[in-house]
Amino acid sequence: TFANAAGPVGQAVAVRITADKARFFHCRFLGFQDTLYTHGNESRQYYFDCYIEGTVDFIFGSSTALFDSCVIYGKKGGYFTAASTPQQKTFGYVFRNCKFTGNAADGSFYLGRPWRPYAKVLIVNSYLSAIVNKKGWDNWGNAANESTTTFAEFGNTGEGAATTERVSWSKSITADEAKQLNTITI
């Protein structure tokens, strides 16, 4: 377990990962705002069967990261992710077979917002509970981000998975594109 016990005091990173090819298996990351900092434009990270909890932007940074079969637990309301993917990168964050849940009120969590203009977040074959806001994504108060970000979903289930009310600038990927995600290696 990696934990920041400062409580809800604003930014309080529990872990900052800068290394390339970092891998975490069966780990817990506990905090509030900014729990897990995936730092480094050239950093590639893999998380398997991990539990990550927080409030605002609690998974954030510029690394390419694959979250595989993880529980993403939102407390109080906020944003699950704040990616700052470099423009030239194919992938930012990929969540595959994950569970987005928490103790927050229904509709109180967005899947993500762009920390930088070319943020990329894909959520595939995951469970999205009712705490997920129907709009899904936020532009961080900057309409220009809507034309540069890649926020996409495919094959998700649960009360928060319906895409009919998602923001118009989010995307859905095809089944073939989703299959290609199975070949990602970190």
State the average pLDDT over residues 18-42.
96
Q: What is the pLDDT of residues 150-183, one digit of tens each?
A: 999 999 999 999 999 999 999 988 888 888 777 7
Could you tell me the residue range of the domain that residue 51 belongs to?
Answer: 2-183
> How would residue 185 be classed by pLDDT, with cut points 50, 70 and 90?
low
* CATH number of domain containing 122: 2.160.20.10
CA distances from 48 to 24, 69, 113, 176 (A): 6, 6, 23, 23
Task: Report yes or no: 157 and 128 within 8 Å, Cβ to Cβ.
Answer: yes
Among the listed residues 70, 177, 168, the one whose alpha carbon sits nearest the alpha carbon of residue 122: 177
Residue type at 86 in one-letter notation = P
Q: What is the pLDDT of residues 92-139, one digit of tens each?
A: 999 999 999 999 999 999 999 999 999 999 999 999 999 999 999 999
> Which of 49, 57, 138, 176 does the annotation list as catalytic?
57
Per-residue tokens: 136: 């899904």
57 is catalytic: yes
Q: Does the pLDDT value for residue 186 go beyond 90?
A: no
Total domains, the chain: 1
Quickly list DSSP for 32-65.
SBT-EEE--TT-EEEEES-EEEEEEEEEEESSEE
The Cα–Cα gap between 132 and 159 comes to: 8
Residue with tokens 């954030």: 60
CB proximity list for 102: less than 8 A, separation 6 or greater: 53, 73, 74, 75, 109, 129, 131
Residue type at 152 in one-letter notation = A
The Cα–Cα gap between 64 and 111 comes to: 17
Identify the pLDDT of residue 181: 76
Among the listed residues 132, 7, 148, the one whose alpha carbon sits nearest the alpha carbon of residue 74: 132
CB proximity list for 54: less than 8 A, separation 6 or greater: 30, 31, 32, 33, 34, 35, 36, 73, 74, 75, 78
Q: What is the pLDDT of residues 71-94, one digit of tens each?
A: 999 999 999 999 999 999 988 999
